[in-house]
Structure 1
Amino acid sequence: MNAIAEQQQNKAGLPGKMIWGFVAMLIFMAGDGLEHAWLSPYLIEKGLTVQQAATLFTAYGAVLAVSAYFSGVLTEIWGPRKVMLIGLITWLVGQILFIELGLKLHSFEWMLPTYALRGIGYPFFCYSFLVWVTYRSPQRIMATAVGLFWAAWSGGLYVVGSYFPAFMTDKIGYMGLLWSAVAWVLVGGIVGLLVVGNDRVSEDKGDAKEKIKSLLSGFTICIEKPKVAIGGLVRIINSVGVGALPIFFPLYLASEYNYSTGEWLTIWGTFWLANIAFNLVIPYISDKWLGWRKTIQWIGSVGCGVMTLVLFYTPHVVGHNFWAMTLVAIIFGIVLCGFVPLSALVTALAPDQKGSAMAIVSFGAGMSYFIAPAIVGLFINSIGAEGLAWVFSIFYFSGAVLMKFMKLPEEENKAEGKEDLTKRTASVN
């Protein structure tokens, strides 16, 4: 397509090939998410301890966090296609080895490195595509393009990744699901690579070592602008509770209240369906009335803290009641949208260092998938499922406290102005 045709296409909306890219992301992430909500109880049923299952997810999360941080700069150095290809290959190799050497041989020693290898896959593939989207989208539709990316990402990982196993497990079994994931990822990967083609996102021919050095120096922004560091902590809190739930909560529901795996997967998928549906509604409320910081503080942090406990204690009150749990999951998914303005808030706090600020936010997102299973592994035996629910609820409430320190300069100036006015009024009186 020549430049004129591309420009005309952009005037009408999103470039056509970008839409296919979003479809590719949804398919890829559906494959990546097919086992997330049931793998932990499955492995424990096959003989692993809860601690071993948690260790598996912790190793995966550690690799994922590092991969998420490096995906952006490597995309600028090598171009999106090469980084996406590395992500696709490492995911496929990790998945096949995980099945053949880990699961079939019942070897935890093989499960650990092969599942961790998969952690390189989706950050390299999907986040590299996101960088391409930000470079190829006209400014006037940038928010729409990025919003569609995250809708495709979460729709694949959590919605299709939960509903497909819920309906197909009885037909093809758990191993069949894992092999079907290979097909999902392969199809999504090929389509995504065809979409980006040989595009480069940067014409900068600077030394690659200097670019990597620049990326690593991004951590210095946490010292220069402590509010960015706080934003990174809140991003960890954002995902740490929901990241831990699939590891211990389905086991608790099954053992105490006889919920089936299919029921849990449907509840979990509905949670994320509600989250996607309200991903535009809550930010609109934020922009129109509450503001970014208060939305994160009250809807996101306090809302998720309350709903974590409500989700846990609902079976205590109603017993085995699928529809009650589904309703609670829907409300939980909605309040989780309260964290959506966090990226905008953090970058607004560092307007001249947006890239470094976003790197910290991305790193925080990845770290949550390292910290969540680590906490489960360390404390499940000593405090049980109820204790873990309180731990993650307290995490969310602590996020609300941290948000008190995340005021934008205009908020601080406004607050200082009110304080000065109060002092002057008091002195006159």
Structure 2
Amino acid sequence: MNTEKPLFGFMTVPLIWGYIAIAIFMAGDGFEAAFLSKYITDIGFSEAQSGFVFTVYGLMVALSAWCSGVVAEIITPQKAMFAGFAIWVAMHIFFMIFGLTYHNYWMMVIFYGIRGLGYPLFLYSFVVLVIYNVDKLQISNAMGWFWAAYSVGFGVIGGFLPGFINPVIGEYNTLWMSLGWVIVGGLIALITLHNARTNREKANLTFKEKTAELGQAITILFRNKNISMAALVRIINTTPLFGFAVVMPWFLVGKTSQDHGLGFSKTEWQNIWTLFLFVTIFTNILWGILADYIGWLRQVRWVGCIGGVFACFSFYYIPITYGHNIWMAMIPAILFGITVASFMPMTAIFTTLEPHHKGAAVSIYNLSAGLSNFLGPAIATTAVPFLGVGGAIGIYMGLYVFAALLTLLIKVKQPSKEDRIKFRENGTESEYDQIILEN
């Protein structure tokens, strides 16, 4: 345990700066989320081509997310964060110069795709650092604040500022501005987290041992069916989120093959997107606390999955019904911000299902989060040309129903409040893991 006295219950000063760095870094990464898909079509490419750019990007994000947990352990989280930072900066510059500047489609696909390796390596390596630096019983609380910092950056700052900046300097220059935010966030992390506590035991393994450790993140899927089902639930958790970032600009602002724009401006859509992510700042923390009282799986099932069905439906039905009405269009954004954050207990579920292999469990969690980044745009790309936006949203709703059914099959023993108090005061980490297995 870190000998530095924690602040606010669990955070040391380096971790506080780490959360700030995450918010700033992800703000730069999020600048493009609400407008890049539309911008690519505006400069002459088809919606299918635009969707393919995001699909390749999402695949690279998924690969990086899966590797990040184990990579952070075998080279240290700080080095892994630096690698992610360097990849993002270099590939973004190449994407802007060789892709967008010259309207070279395959350069866009290649460099934007490779850039997808960067932010998960930076982001999820910090999660490993958090695990090393906080009390084991505070990880859920720390993760709530982690996702809140993510939402502040990626959602509020990253979503809000482009709505005001784009009309002044244009989308192209806004994409260059995002580079500055990422550089600032990356440098803050590298400077302030340099001396944060880390476990160098696995960093000293041989190459063969490190390869075997990396393989652990695959084999766990085959030997633990509960982890496999939890992975599917986590994939579905944010699949509509990343899908909406691609679909909704087409639906509200532009035209698709079967649906017409409803008269919203780009700025109005970006404000709707920002509102959604602004809500998640508070709901991430709220659901992280309430899950201990409601029950992890019960909360995921009824609020996240069933509630998510209605939230997705409202994203289509309300704009279709009320047309260009910005206030009504904000209702589904609020509903979705409430439901998507209620999956917060999934981190605790994964590590509880594999208490003796938490690193591998976190890697599968990261892989699942990354796959949702791939699956969301992939559904949009393949479904919209044939089924329209309504059909794509219907698929997202069906996935939430499937996830709700899976939660009925997952067997996880959530420790009671009394057990938590008992082992916080008197127990060791191994004893706490044992009570989880036997409770």
Distance 2:74 2:370 in 1: 22
Q: Quick one: which amino acid aligns to residue 207 of structure 1? A: T
Q: Quick one: which amino acid aligns to residue 162 of structure 1? A: G
Q: Tell me the alpha carbon deviations over residues 106-130 of structure 1, each in whole angstroms, 9 at most, x when there is no partner.
A: 1111000110111111111122222
Alignment-derived partner of residue 185 in structure 1: 182
Trace 1:65-214 onto structure 2 (pairs within 5 A). Answer: 65-139=62-136, 141-197=138-194, 201-204=198-201, 205-214=204-213
- The one of 262, 270, 275 equivalent to 1:265 is 270
- The one of 335, 341, 344 equivalent to 2:339 is 335
> Please, which moves more after superposition, 312-321 or 215-224?
215-224
> Please, which moves more after superposition, 312-321 or 260-269?
312-321
TM-superposed deviation, 1:283: 3.4
TM-score, length-normalised on structure 2? 0.88
Change beyond 3 A, Cα 1:311–1:322: same
TM-superposed deviation, 1:174: 0.6
Change beyond 3 A, Cα 1:315–1:387: same
Q: Is the 8 A contact 1:10 1:138 kept in 2?
A: no
Q: Is the 8 A contact 1:51 1:376 kept in 2?
A: no
Change beyond 3 A, Cα 1:114–1:343: same
TM-score, length-normalised on structure 1? 0.90
TM-superposed deviation, 1:138: 3.9
Q: Quick one: which amino acid aligns to residue 99 of structure 1? A: M
Alignment-derived partner of residue 253 in structure 2: 254
Alignment-derived partner of residue 232 in structure 2: 233
TM-superposed deviation, 1:361: 1.4
Q: Quick one: which amino acid aligns to residue 251 of structure 1? A: W
Q: Is the 8 A contact 1:293 1:407 kept in 2?
A: no
TM-superposed deviation, 1:221: 1.7
More helix by share: 1
- How many pairs were matched up? 407
Change beyond 3 A, Cα 1:386–1:12: closer
TM-superposed deviation, 1:328: 2.1
Q: Tell me the alpha carbon deviations over residues 269-308 of structure 1, each in whole angstroms, 9 at most, x when there is no partner.
A: 10111122112223333321x3111111111011111110
Q: Is the 8 A contact 1:64 1:366 kept in 2?
A: yes
TM-superposed deviation, 1:393: 0.8
Change beyond 3 A, Cα 1:327–1:229: same
Distance 1:14 1:241 in 2: 32
Unpaired runs of at least 5, structure 2: 255-260, 416-439
Q: Quick one: which amino acid aligns to residue 206 of structure 1? A: L
Percent identical among aligned pairs is 34
Distance 1:410 1:152 in 2: 26
> Please, which moves more after superposition, 192-201 or 301-310?
192-201
- The one of 366, 369, 375 equivalent to 2:379 is 375
Distance 1:361 1:32 in 2: 21
Residue 19 of structure 1 aligns to a residue in which SS? helix
Q: Quick one: which amino acid aligns to residue 287 of structure 1? A: D
Distance 1:77 1:351 in 2: 19
Distance 1:330 1:165 in 2: 20
Unpaired runs of at least 5, structure 1: 412-429
TM-superposed deviation, 1:200: 6.5
Q: Quick one: which amino acid aligns to residue 283 of structure 2? A: F
TM-superposed deviation, 1:87: 1.0
Distance 1:301 1:12 in 2: 31
Residue 45 of structure 2 aligns to a residue in which SS? coil
Q: Is the 8 A contact 2:312 2:396 kept in 1?
A: yes
- The one of 39, 48, 51 equivalent to 1:51 is 48
Q: Quick one: which amino acid aligns to residue 278 of structure 1? A: T
TM-superposed deviation, 1:319: 1.3
* Cα RMSD for the two superposed structures: 2.0
